[in-house]
Amino acid sequence: MNLILIGMNHKTAPVEIRERLSIACNEGFNPLDEIKAIPGVGEALYLSTCNRVEILARTQEEHPDVEERLKDLIFRHGNLGEEDMARCLYVYRDGAAIRHLFRVAASLDSLIMGEPQILGQVKEAYRLAVDHQAAGIILNKLLHRAFRVAKRIRTETGIASHAVSVSYAAVELAKKIFGTLKGKKVLLIGAGEMSELAARHLIKHGGDRIFVANRTHERAIQMAADFQGVPVDFDDVGESLREVDIVISSTGAPGYILTYDIIAAALKRRKNRLLFLIDIAVPRDIDPRAGDIDNVYLYNMDNLQDIADDNMQIRRGEAEKGELIVAAEADRYIEWFNTLTVVPTIVSLKEKAMGIINLELERSGGWLRNLRDEDREAVEIMANAIANKILHDPVTCLKEESQEGSALAYVAAIRRLFRLDGSRDNE
Amino acid sequence: MDIDMLLYRGALLAYLLSTLTYIFSLLIRRVSPARAATWVLTAAFGLHTLFFLGQWLSKGYNPFLRVHDMLSFFAWVMAGVYLAFQLRTKTRVLGAFVSPVVFVLMIISSVGIGGPMTVPEVLKGGLVTIHAMLSVVGEALFAVASVAGLVYLIQDGLIKRKKSNKFMKLFPSLQDLDRINHFCLLWGVPLLTLGVLAGSIWARTVWGSHWQWDPKQIWTLAAWLIYAVLLHQRLAIGWKGHKMALLSVAAFMLLLAALLVEKSFFTTIHRFY
């Protein structure tokens, strides 16, 4: 198969080394042409993100020095000593390279497993390869398969479906309480960076109006302006609980800002509408006993972090299902690759022709039966002759090509044109 | 077997299928089977509707006077109300609780369905039909409210536990469940009121008085009273969410228990045929 994948990721290389590589390519220099110039390299893909650098190449024949030359290239770009770099690099070949690419595309190999950006980055890398005419028949198929594997794993496993950051965990909880965040009012107590970030998340998911209360009122006015929201007097916080649906509190106050009594009284006035309180302050701003009140849902920083951690655990479990899909899809790809040789293709081409002849003879069985035996035989012989004549030139051409070198492109074209792999591989 | 029975059996089978698919969804804790189950339930509801239409057109008699028909009608209303909610809110997995109830009602009803019909003279007349239909629709709405209440209590518990949980992700949001409670009470109470009124007017014409202290009548009045109070508290005082869910479940359980006691220990003039 002659596939080789060389790379490093967040697990194998410290950040200083990855940094050097990505700085090198951010300078507008794309090594694809350089990779292609290495003798023996037929197709190539170059993927570089903050967390990884990968080169995938296909050589036409066995070229023992391709691995060394690719490594050389990476070393030169990293501008680092060979020894430093060699420790960080991994090299995969053929089946292992395919599985690694599938795992990367499906985000099984990411720092935050299941994050969605990596697939876009792989797609971009593939687009560049196509632009540089570095992608041929093997990489085209391989990358399209990788995209499909990634999609399958996303939909068939829960790898991407559980919030693993604190703010997403809060948004998911809000959705489980309110259904939709559309039209929901959010009160920020304390105008810190944390509450600002959380508020932006809520707005992104439909949160409607933002109220801001802060000990120094000027800061509240300023931040409310940022969100096109409403500043609230710090002393009136209890009063505004009547209106809002979600509260994010993050002041540096030593005691409780929202006591049990304030919340219980507010709930009565808001006619028991559901209230979601998020306390990200340390020490806490909201009396923890408020969580016992009916229709009040109180979460603090630790609760949210626990949920994010638990969800990471769930994702890890789901990733195991993803690995099974990767293994199965890699096997299917290898199976397809193995059909790309001349002899089996000629055999299946002839089988297909025979199949069509037999089917048509069967269909015409009605009137064929009226013929004399000799005539019927003559018809069958003629049908076979026509099929053989039609196939003669393509088959001869395939044989000639295979003697001159790689007939891969011809084989792939024939298999596609005559649908020799059935319809499932023709996506 | 005539076409009506074919429709009925088809509906029964589809209800079973949707119940199993919903349960499968709970077992693997994924929403995708529930999505399929919703379509199966819709198909079941469609077949069931055709069955009622067929009965009504072909037989010409009031099809809601036998206990079996009544149960089947009750199941039909529950399925219909649930499906209507499904259209408007993402309450998909709620079906995993509605569908089994519908299926069990259908199984009980299937025992006597299609048998010979002998309705006594006193039970003929439009008012009886109106009385029976309105009351059943009202009570079916209360049943949906209590199922939604049950799921609310589970979901509320999960959110208050503050642990990551796949069921929490699967179950509908609290607000949507509470909205179902609101709708069911808002429509259930007036419909049952009209049903009871129609019944009492008709009772006067055949039994000579509006009220006979019959166990069944007392039960119905109790049910009406409980739900009317709940609706009042909900609209006027603002009882919502957890408390309302709890009370809806409790009220339905209480009435179910009372119905069983009534059936086992008392005789009533108010019965189905």
Per-residue three-class SS string for chain B: CCHHHHHHHHHHHHHHHHHHHHHHHHHHCCCHHHHHHHHHHHHHHHHHHHHHHHHHHHHCCCCCCCHHHHHHHHHHHHHHHHHHHHHHCCCHHHHHHHHHHHHHHHHHHHCCCCCCCCCCHHHCCHHHHHHHHHHHHHHHHHHHHHHHHHHHHHHHHHHHHCCCCHHHHHCCCHHHHHHHHHHHHHHHHHHHHHHHHHHHHHHHHHHCCCCCCCHHHHHHHHHHHHHHHHHHHHHHHCCCHHHHHHHHHHHHHHHHHHHHHHHHHCCCCCCCC
Quick check: is B5 in a domain? no
Residue A50: active-site member: yes
Whole-number pLDDT of residue A298: 95
Quick check: is B97 in a domain? no
Q: Tell me if ipTM is over 0.95.
A: no
Q: Which residues in A190-229 belong to E strands, given as ranges?
A: 209-213
Whole-number pLDDT of residue A425: 46
Distances (CA, A) of A393 to A49, A347, A398, B93, B114: 48, 15, 9, 61, 72
Quick check: is B113 in a domain? no
Strands A246-249, A185-189: parallel, antiparallel or unpaired by DSSP?
Answer: parallel
Whole-number pLDDT of residue B259: 82
Q: What is the mean pLDDT of chain A?
A: 87
Share of chain A above pLDDT 90, in %: 37
* Enclosing domain of residue B226: 120-265
Minimum distance, in Å, between the CA of residue B21 and any CA atom of chain A:
17
Residues of chain B with pLDDT under 50: 273
Q: Which of A171, A242, A246, A274 is the mutation pick for testing B, counting most B CBs within 10 A?
A: A274
CATH superfamily of A3-161: Glutamyl-tRNA reductase, N-terminal domain (3.30.460.30)
Exposure of A192 in the CB half-sphere (CA atoms within 13 A): 14
d(CA B91, CA A353): 54
CB count in 10 Å sphere of residue A173: 22
Whole-number pLDDT of residue B244: 93
Quick check: is B100 in a domain? no
CB A421 within 8 A of CB A339: yes
Contact yes or no for B169 and A172 at CB 8 A: yes
Whole-number pLDDT of residue A60: 72
Whole-number pLDDT of residue A95: 92
Contact yes or no for B176 and A179 at CB 8 A: yes
Q: Does pLDDT of A136 surpass 90?
A: no
Q: Does pLDDT of A245 surpass 80?
A: yes
CATH 3.30.9.10 fits A166-306, yes or no: no
Task: Record the tokens describing residue B158, joined without a space.
Answer: 């999960």
Contacts of A286 in chain B (CB under 8 A): none
Contacts of A314 in chain B (CB under 8 A): 164, 166
Q: Is A73 helix (H, G, I), strand (E, B) or coil?
A: helix
**For the segment A380-397, what is each residue's pLDDT rounded down to a tens digit?**
899 999 999 999 998 888
Mean pLDDT (whole number) for A169-193: 89
- On whether any CB of chain B is under 8 Å from the CB of A276, the answer is no
**For the segment A312-367, what is each residue's pLDDT rounded down to a tens digit?**
888 898 999 999 999 999 999 988 887 777 888 888 889 999 999 999 988 888 88
Quick check: is B236 in a domain? yes
CB B258 within 8 A of CB A313: no
Contact yes or no for A274 and B159 at CB 8 A: no
A35-44, A281-290, B112-121: segment of lowest average pLDDT: B112-121
CB count in 10 Å sphere of residue B116: 4
One-letter amino acid for residue A111 of the chain: L
- On whether any CB of chain A is under 8 Å from the CB of B172, the answer is yes
**For the segment A70-123, what is each residue's pLDDT rounded down to a tens digit?**
888 888 777 777 777 778 889 999 899 999 999 999 999 988 888 888 999 999
Quick check: is B132 in a domain? yes
